[in-house]
């Protein structure tokens, strides 16, 4: 498709496509939204939704229709997105992911994948627990707190990861996470209140490492909420080279999680197809 070709040409982790009615783009009805990696279409994406919301908001504002609430029509259903006018932050209302523990003594099926995901920096003795999200098709690896420095330097063998799970059906992404307690990014940093840190790797869909991953945080929110005694509000940092900070608010009764963060418009132009 043309959308897949454009996403492959941009070669970013995801490219979002929104469909606005010509000349109207009314904010009172859902806006169709689709996401593509360089290799395939995906069912849910956070940072591309954040970017899409920013672009639509600026488009509406330029035509005199300022709007701080949008609703996107996607493969994952209707996704409300709201903007705090005072802070400029966007909040994405996403479905909460499911998490199923994997017993540490019962990991034969994922042993090769686990080894390749840990790379040369870490061994299985650094792993605290494992889990799988069937609806998001993700393997979650929690590391022991003392392995945090190695986590920050982690370089998975992505080719070996794909070879270990060649179909990419049960697992299409690997989340590596560790407690954020006491974490400081630099000397004098006073924002060390992160509940957890994470990194995300999805070579099956053309993403060696994702900068910031909303879909993974729907799983992380469920996982860390249980670990932290049912805490509904959490602060998370994804520690890719670019990195990003997310505020999470779980609504377990509705099975939803709000992901809140900033966005910046860095370029504007036209693509010829």
- pLDDT per residue as tens digits for the range 165-187: 887 668 999 999 999 998 876 54
- pLDDT per residue as tens digits for the range 8-62: 999 999 999 999 876 555 566 899 999 999 999 999 999 999 999 999 988 888 8
Count of beta carbons in the 10 Å neighbourhood of residue 29: 10
3-state helix, strand, coil in the chain (%, to 5): 25, 30, 45
Q: Is residue 95 part of a domain?
A: no
CA distance 248 to 236: 8
Provide the residue range defining the domain that includes 110.
100-256
pTM for the structure as a whole: 0.92
Check whether residue 154 and residue 65 sit in a common domain.
no
**162 token code pair:** 């794909």
Check whether residue 33 and residue 107 sit in a common domain.
no
Residues classed as catalytic: 14
- Residue ranges, the chain, pLDDT below 70: 22-28, 104-110, 168-169, 185-192
Count of beta carbons in the 10 Å neighbourhood of residue 41: 16
CA distance 133 to 224: 13
Q: Identify the pLDDT of residue 105.
A: 59
Q: Is residue 69 part of a domain?
A: yes
Q: Is residue 131 part of a domain?
A: yes
Q: Could you tell me which residues come within 8 angstroms of residue 175 by beta carbon, excluding any fewer than 6 positions away?
A: 138, 139, 140, 141, 198, 199, 200, 213, 216, 219, 220
Q: Is residue 245 part of a domain?
A: yes
Check whether residue 61 and residue 185 sit in a common domain.
no
CA distance 1 to 16: 14
Sign of the Cα pseudo-torsion (20, 21, 25, 28, in order): negative
Q: How many domains does the chain have?
A: 2
CA distance 213 to 101: 21
Check whether residue 26 and residue 106 sit in a common domain.
no
Check whether residue 174 and residue 242 sit in a common domain.
yes
Check whether residue 54 and residue 112 sit in a common domain.
no
Residue 41 CA, chain-centre distance (Å), reads 15
Check whether residue 120 and residue 24 sit in a common domain.
no
Q: Give me the helices (H) in 78-125, please.
A: 111-118
Q: Is residue 91 part of a domain?
A: no
Check whether residue 113 and residue 247 sit in a common domain.
yes
Check whether residue 170 and residue 140 sit in a common domain.
yes
Check whether residue 78 and residue 203 sit in a common domain.
no
Among residues 83, 111, 129, which one ends one of the domains? 83
Check whether residue 127 and residue 237 sit in a common domain.
yes
Check whether residue 15 and residue 74 sit in a common domain.
yes
CATH number of the structural domain spanning residue 108: 3.10.310.10
Find out whether 191 and 215 touch, Cβ atoms under 8 Å.
Answer: no
């Amino acid at each position: 498709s043309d959308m897949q070709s454009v996403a492959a040409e941009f070669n970013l982790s995801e490219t979002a496509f929104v469909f606005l009615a010509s000349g109207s783009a009314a904010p009172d009805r859902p806006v169709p939204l689709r996401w593509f990696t360089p290799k395939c279409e995906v069912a849910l994406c956070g940072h591309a939704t954040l970017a899409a919301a920013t672009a639509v908001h600026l488009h509406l504002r330029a035509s005199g229709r300022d709007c701080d609430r949008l609703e996107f029509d996607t493969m994952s259903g209707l996704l409300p997105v709201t903007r705090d006018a005072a802070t400029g932050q966007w909040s994405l209302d996403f479905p909460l992911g499911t998490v199923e523990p994997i017993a540490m003594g019962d990991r034969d099926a994922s042993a090769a994948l686990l080894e390749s995901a840990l790379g040369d920096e870490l061994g299985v003795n650094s792993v605290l627990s494992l889990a799988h999200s069937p609806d998001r098709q993700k393997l979650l690896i929690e590391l022991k707190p003392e392995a945090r420095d190695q986590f920050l330097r982690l370089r998975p063998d992505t080719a070996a990861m794909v070879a270990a799970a060649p179909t990419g059906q049960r697992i299409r992404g690997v989340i590596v996470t560790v407690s954020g307690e006491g974490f400081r990014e630099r000397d004098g940093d006073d924002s060390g209140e992160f509940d957890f840190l994470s990194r995300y790797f999805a070579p099956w869909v053309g993403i060696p490492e994702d900068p910031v991953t909303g879909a993974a945080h729907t799983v992380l929110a469920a996982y860390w909420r249980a670990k932290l005694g049912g805490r509904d509000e959490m602060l998370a940092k994804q520690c890719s080279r670019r990195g990003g900070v997310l505020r999470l608010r779980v609504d377990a009764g509705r099975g939803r999680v709000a992901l809140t963060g900033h966005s910046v418009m860095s370029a504007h132009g036209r693509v010829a197809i």
